[in-house]
């Protein structure tokens, strides 16, 4: 049997009476009235209000030397750990969640259940372990603090160990402190409505659905197979390096339930990314309905997947792909969603945000379609649409073309919320792909090596621009899947056009380096195309060239003449492997 060394201490930290629902509620209401008070100062009116409204607690004590000590100096856990109040420096402030409790939107049990489910110690979730133990016994066995401390916590983990085998094993020696902590944890679970105390020391299941929520859904700990991947990633590099291909690798993972794609551009805004009310025909009348866009579609799908884990606890992921993220104004597009990108170690947004009324109504309708069991696995403030929180199964991956980085600069605050991964210009390793065809440029009866061309032309680009931003990646042009060939027409209209229009437009000398011919003439872009109708050859070999057709001979001459550091572009006859232009 497996043995564990959990250092569980519970949420109590002493002052257990502060968790009693009536005390907890009344204290929070006082804190709401006293928002911004100095909790370190015993003379602050906060303590007078607490003494008046919550007299069952001794809020100010006198030390041996006569100094006064406020209870909040030592006992903030019941409010701070549940994120309803923040104690920063000397000031106590209500959080958005705390205000929701005070206005009746959230209940004590809702908040406590969420806190117990997410409470982590030494990379373990002790309340989930206890809840799973009660669920696996099907509620028929009463469990005591001694039994849980001596057998279950040291030896049982959901999905790994059999609870009945664990209960039949010898008990581990436990200190009275550990047993006391377990007793406090069980009391907290009873406050949440999950357990009921049946005599002086025994607890039994009170509500299966609440235990199920604390256990993380389905009575098991949730598992995220893609947890090794960054939640938010921007892949960046030169055009054609395979940035989108890398993102596709995650999107096609079998543990991904859905991939939602969008592309940013200068006219993108919050409404086109998140959603907005739009007019629709309702019979003969015009009505307005909220129309979700990429972000909200991915968000709702992710929470739907969170609500229906598989039998072993595995949760499918959702990927939101943003192509060309720097071609849009990210500050304008993300708006207040920017705050959600701060994720905790559990993968949830650290700072939830308020949803506007229209969006909240739509979210409540969409998430309200979940069945009762599934709804129990979604936090009530999320289910109601009141709060927006990114779940740990929602991945946001984006691509950024460094050659376009001047469109909308991305500020440092936005950048630090993402992982970044540089995709260099490199020849892909396709040794394990039997269907892979090496890329060639097909010009008449000749094939020119695409990687050799890239190596040569990128050397000229680097020399001219002193950067990699404008260089060409291996996938700059899509080759024919069956042959691996890039046609002369593709090469001229896409590659050469890019070189002339975007790279060398302001550089005269590099043009001479790249496009200078043996007779010292420098090829202009128009020299690669016919400007009028031309007929060549005789009889069956006669060919008619229209204006705009590519001059194969000029393209071939350019490739043969392209040099960089004494290395040329290998050429072989079409249909053969002979090297007609060895290095």
Task: Kindly report, residue by residue over 73-100, the tens digit of the pLDDT.
Answer: 888 888 888 889 988 888 989 888 888 8
Average pLDDT over residues 488-507: 87
Greater pLDDT, 218 or 138: 138
Question: What is the bridge-based pairing of β-strands 387-388 and 353-354?
Answer: antiparallel
pLDDT value of residue 566: 64
Q: Are residues 125 and 248 in the same domain?
A: no
**pLDDT classification of 63: cutoffs 50, 70, 90:** confident
Q: Are residues 367 and 510 in the same domain?
A: no
**404 assigned to some structural domain:** yes
- At 177, which helix (H) or strand (E)? helix 176-191
Greater pLDDT, 87 or 303: 303
Per the listing, tokens 């990429």 go with 294
* Count of structural domains within the chain: 3
Q: How far apart are CA 82 and CA 19, in angstroms?
A: 11
Residue ranges of alpha helices (H) inside 20-125 are 21-33, 45-53, 77-80, 96-102, 108-118
**432 assigned to some structural domain:** no
Give the pTM.
Answer: 0.59
Greater pLDDT, 231 or 10: 231
Could you tell me the residue range of the domain that residue 568 belongs to? 440-573
pLDDT value of residue 481: 84
Evaluate the CA torsion angle 347, 353, 354, 358 in order and state its sign. Answer: negative
**61 assigned to some structural domain:** yes
Average pLDDT over residues 2-24: 70
pLDDT value of residue 221: 62
Q: Are residues 444 and 418 in the same domain?
A: no
**pLDDT tens sequence across 533-577:** 888 877 777 888 899 999 998 999 889 888 776 667 888 888 765
CATH code of the domain in which 344 resides: 3.40.50.300
**pLDDT classification of 246: cutoffs 50, 70, 90:** confident
Q: Are residues 312 and 397 in the same domain?
A: yes
Q: What length does the chain have?
A: 583
3-state DSSP assignment of residue 423: coil
Q: Are residues 133 and 246 in the same domain?
A: no
Q: Are residues 450 and 524 in the same domain?
A: yes
pLDDT value of residue 580: 44
Per the listing, tokens 């790279």 go with 503
Q: Are residues 284 and 409 in the same domain?
A: yes
**pLDDT classification of 412: cutoffs 50, 70, 90:** confident
pLDDT value of residue 218: 46
List Cβ neighbours of 215 (8 Å cut-off, separation of 6 or more): 117, 128, 131, 132, 135, 158, 221
Average pLDDT over residues 289-316: 90
Q: Are residues 488 and 344 in the same domain?
A: no
Q: Are residues 372 and 508 in the same domain?
A: no
Which residue from 571, 538, 284 is spatially nearest to 441, judged by alpha carbons? 571
Please, are residues 257 and 420 in contact by the beta-carbon 8 Å criterion?
no
Q: Are residues 390 and 453 in the same domain?
A: no
* Pick from 146-150, 157-161, 460-464, 557-561: least confident: 157-161
3-state DSSP assignment of residue 503: helix
**167 assigned to some structural domain:** yes
Q: Are residues 399 and 488 in the same domain?
A: no
pLDDT, mean over the chain: 85
Structure tokens at 219: 């009575």
**255 assigned to some structural domain:** yes
**pLDDT tens sequence across 212-226:** 888 875 445 678 999
Q: How far apart are CA 110 and CA 84, in angstroms?
A: 12
Q: Are residues 382 and 500 in the same domain?
A: no
- How many Cα atoms within 13 Å fall on the side-chain side of residue 508? 0
């Amino acid at each position: 049997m497996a043995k564990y060394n959990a250092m569980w201490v519970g949420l109590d930290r002493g002052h257990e009476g502060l968790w009693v629902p009536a005390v907890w509620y009344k204290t929070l209401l006082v804190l709401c009235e006293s928002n911004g008070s100095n909790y370190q100062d015993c003379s602050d009116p906060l303590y007078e209000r607490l003494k008046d409204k919550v007299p069952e607690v001794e809020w100010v004590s006198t030390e041996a030397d006569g100094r006064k000590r406020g209870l909040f100096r030592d006992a903030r856990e019941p409010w701070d750990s549940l994120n309803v109040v923040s104690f920063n420096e000397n000031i106590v402030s209500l959080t958005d969640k705390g205000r929701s409790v005070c206005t009746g939107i959230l209940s004590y049990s809702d908040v406590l259940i969420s806190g117990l489910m997410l409470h982590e110690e030494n990379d373990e979730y002790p309340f989930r372990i206890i809840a799973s133990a009660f669920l696996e016994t099907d509620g028929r066995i009463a469990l005591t603090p001694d039994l849980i401390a001596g057998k279950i916590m040291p030896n049982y983990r959901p999905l790994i160990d059999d609870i009945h085998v664990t209960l039949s094993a010898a008990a581990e020696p436990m200190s009275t402190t550990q047993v006391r902590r377990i007793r406090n944890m069980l009391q907290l679970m009873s406050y949440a409505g999950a357990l009921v105390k049946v005599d002086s020391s025994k607890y039994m299941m009170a509500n299966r659905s609440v235990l199920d929520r604390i256990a993380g859904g389905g009575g098991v700990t949730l598992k995220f197979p893609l947890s090794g991947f960054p939640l938010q990633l921007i892949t960046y590099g030169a055009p054609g390096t395979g940035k989108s291909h890398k993102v596709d690798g995650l999107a096609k993972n079998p543990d991904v339930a859905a991939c939602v794609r969008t592309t940013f551009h200068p006219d993108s805004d919050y409404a086109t990314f998140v959603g907005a009310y739009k007019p629709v025909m309702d019979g003969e009348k015009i009505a307005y309905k909220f129309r979700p866009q990429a972000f909200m579609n991915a968000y709702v799908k992710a929470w739907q997947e969170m609500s229906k884990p598989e039998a072993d606890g595995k949760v499918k992921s959702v990927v939101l792909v943003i192509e060309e993220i720097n071609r849009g104004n990210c500050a304008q597009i993300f708006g207040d969603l920017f705050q959600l990108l701060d994720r905790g170690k559990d993968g949830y947004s650290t700072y939830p945000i308020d949803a506007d009324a229209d969006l909240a109504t739509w979210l409540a309708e969409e998430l309200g379609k979940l069945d009762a069991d599934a709804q129990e696995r979604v936090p009530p403030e999320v289910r109601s649409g009141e709060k927006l929180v990114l779940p740990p199964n929602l991945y946001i991956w984006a691509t950024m073309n460094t050659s376009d980085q001047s469109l909308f600069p991305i500020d440092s605050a936005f950048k630090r919320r993402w992982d970044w991964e540089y995709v260099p210009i490199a020849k892909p390793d396709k040794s394990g792909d039997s269907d892979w065809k090496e890329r060639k440029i097909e010009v008449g009866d000749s094939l020119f090596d695409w990687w050799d061309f890239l190596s040569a032309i990128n050397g000229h680009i680097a020399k001219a621009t002193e950067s990699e931003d404008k260089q060409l990646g291996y996938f700059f042009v899509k080759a024919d899947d069956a042959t691996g060939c890039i046609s002369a027409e593709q090469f001229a209209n896409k590659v050469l056009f890019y070189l002339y229009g975007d790279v060398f437009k302001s550089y005269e000398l590099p043009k001479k380096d790249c496009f200078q011919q043996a007779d010292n003439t420098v090829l202009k872009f128009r020299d690669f195309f016919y400007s009028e109708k031309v007929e060549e050859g005789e009889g069956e070999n006669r060919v008619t060239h229209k204006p705009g057709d590519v001059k194969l001979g000029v393209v071939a001459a350019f490739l043969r003449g392209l040099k960089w550091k004494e290395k040329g572009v290998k050429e072989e006859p079409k249909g053969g492997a002979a090297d007609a232009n060895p290095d």
